[in-house]
Structures are given as structure tokens and as C-alpha cells.
Amino acid sequence: MLAKLKTITDEKARVELIARLDAWWGGREFDPDAVAEKLADAPAAGAPPKVRPLSEDKHLRKPPPRIAALEMIWGRGRWLPSSGEVDGLMLEALGRQRGRIGKLGLVGIDAIAADLIAGAMGEEVVIADWRMPCATRTAQIVDNGIVKSCDLDRMTCFDDGSLKALLSVEAMTYVDHKGGLAARVHRALRDGGRWAFMDYVAIPGFKPKASFASAWAEPQMQTEKQIRAHLETCGFRNITSRDVTQEVLSATRSAFARLGAALEDATIAASENGRDGALMLQELSWEATAWKARMKALDSSCINMLIWTADKPGADILEAESDDFVESLPKEKAISPEEAGWTVTEDEDFDASPDWTADEDETKPKTASDDADDDGPLGQDDIDNLFD
């Protein structure tokens, strides 16, 4: 039976079986070479869909000053300091998603990282960004994703139960209602789905306003304990966090080292672009000043960058947790009336014997003749008695 099942499920054997049946039905000889040619042309079973490579020579429209300043510091299609190491850590946090049912969502991920993740997963991704200039630029660059704009406090860009995983960067840092964001992500994930996100956490009482002077919104950072509480309240399980502060600092220092060598050429180019060039240099100055303060805060551990993972329980996990809860309940035990607080008195007039006796016919054992009388066929006399 197992061999027969394998014949049906194995792609090569299934194609061969269909070819043999077709040849037999049409009265032709079976041609193994034709089967081999068909298998060679067919895509491999379980192969990921083709993902277009990132086009380096793609013609892009001129970015607005804010985006131009970010790309001057971090590189084309980058809004934040990043490196191969940081991208790899984010991919590692996502876990194994290839082949699972559902879409892969990205929030706040820059264009280059989005394409790299799509290539690694072998599928298109759905990218959402609350910063409209970033969303517009991402749509120009990304080859393997669908780009949407979103509101972090009302993130309705993902349907309920549509995502197998979601990766976000700095979403928890800038959203006002963090519990609401966690709840919305929980709803968008399928059972067993994962939310991986890279965000800042601060020590209690620290207000790093100058570190985010040129950011898209005022940061609303919380402590690691507070973020974990939001995740647990929304029903996430297997919550982990990993400190990647040093990796982010290393990527930041490398980016500013490259910027120093190219700053003179950038200044000349900006002067030729009139007002937009002046605005770009102003944004560049603000971003560099803010990151100088941010690096100082990161170095002193006043703020840290963490990569979190949080899983939405699947049906099997929920069932196991339900069983554990039932097992944790106090076991019932038999108690006496006295333990229950009842007063028990003896009644001398009470007779526990039954107040009825069986009829003689009910107690007399049946004989074979009785069974015959009960189960035998009706005679004519019996039929006549029915109508009397």
C-alpha cells in the first residue's frame, strides 16, 4: 500500500503512470524518452517561485530631499544603518517560512532589505510603510514586492489571518498605542505565525529626544519589560529578544566613514540642484547630528537595539495549553455530609426497605414454552381477538 501511495505522490512516478495509461488507452507504445523530456521541462517539485534579481541599472526618479539625504548616508534604497550582518540577523529571526501557507509582510523595512528577504524566501513580499516618501521610493526600487502605505496606529493594510510572518523595524518605537499595534499584528498572523521586529528600548526615565531630532515622528520608546508585557497581553508566546546594539553601531560607523570620503562631491552636487540641493544638505546635517547623539546613547546603554521574536500560538499549542490549565485545576474529591456542613440525624421510624414487592409472575423464571408463546406467530384466534 505504501508503494502505491508513493507512486501517486512522487512526481516522476506520477508522470510516468499517466503516460503509460495514455499510451495504453490510445493503443500506442509507451515512450520513456518522452516522459524524461516532459520531466526536464517541468519545474522541480517544491521549487520556490522565481524571484527577479535586484536591478542595479534601474532608472529611478529623483528622490525628495529627505530621501536623498538618507541615501547619501546609508546607501541607495536604505533608510537606516544596515549591513549584511544585520540583514542576516533579521532573516534568522523570521525563521523557516518557505513553503508555509500565507503571505510574508514587512513594515518599515527599507527597499534593499526587502528585496534581499524576498530573494532568500523565494517569494514576493507585502511591504507597508507609514512614511509616505519611503513607501514611494520603495515602490520604485523593489522588484519582488507589493508596497502599501499604512498608519501604525490603525494598521489595516493586512487582512486578518493572512500572514505567516511579519518583520518590522522601528514600528514599536514610533507607534503611539503599542498594545494596539501588537493586537493588530496578532490578528493579521495565521495560527502559528511569527512576528519578528527590530526596535529600540530605553532605560526607565531616559528621554532621548535629541537622538531622534530628524526622525519621522517623536519616538515613544518603552522598556524591554513594558514591550514584553504588551506581547504577552495580546496572546503571543515564545517571546525572545536579542541585543544587536553593537551590530547597528558597527554599521553606523562604516556608513559615516564612507560619507566622509564622499561629502565634498555631495556638497558640489547639491549646490547645483538649487533649492532641493540646499534642503538635502540641511536634512543631511540634521540626520548626522541626530545620529551622533544616538550613537552616544547606544554606547552608554541608555538605549539599546533589540531583535524580538513572538509567536502566535497554533491550534496544537492552544490545545496543549488548555490541557495544562485543566491539569492545574484542583482535583475534586468525595466529601462527607459533615464536611459539607450538613447536620445528619437518625430517624428511628425511617424504613429503608422497599415499599413494593414484585408480582409472582415477574419473579418466576421463564421457560422455553413461555418464550415460544411470547414470540410465536399469531394464530387465527389471536387475530380474531384483536377485533373483539
Tens digits of residue pLDDT in 94-152: 998 888 899 999 999 999 999 889 988 888 899 999 999 999 999 999 888 899 999 99
Q: What's the confidence (pLDDT) of residue 318?
A: 46
A 10 A CB-CB count for 214 gives 17
pLDDT at 365 over 80: no
Look at 282 and 39; give whichever has higher pLDDT.
282
Query: 289: which 3 cell numbers?
Result: 547630528
CATH number of 65-322: 3.40.50.150
Domain ranges of the chain: 7-41, 65-322
Q: What's the confidence (pLDDT) of residue 3?
A: 42
Tens digits of residue pLDDT in 244-287: 999 999 999 999 888 877 777 777 776 667 788 888 888 888 89
Q: What's the confidence (pLDDT) of residue 1?
A: 38
Cα end-to-end span (Å), the chain: 67
Look at 214 and 189; give whichever has higher pLDDT.
189
Task: Tell me which H or E stretch contains 202.
Answer: strand 189-202
CA angle (199 as vertex; 263, 226 as ends), nearest 5: 145
Tens digits of residue pLDDT in 314-345: 855 544 544 555 565 555 555 565 665 666 55
pLDDT at 201 over 90: yes
Tens digits of residue pLDDT in 136-186: 999 999 888 899 999 998 888 999 999 999 999 999 999 999 999 999 999
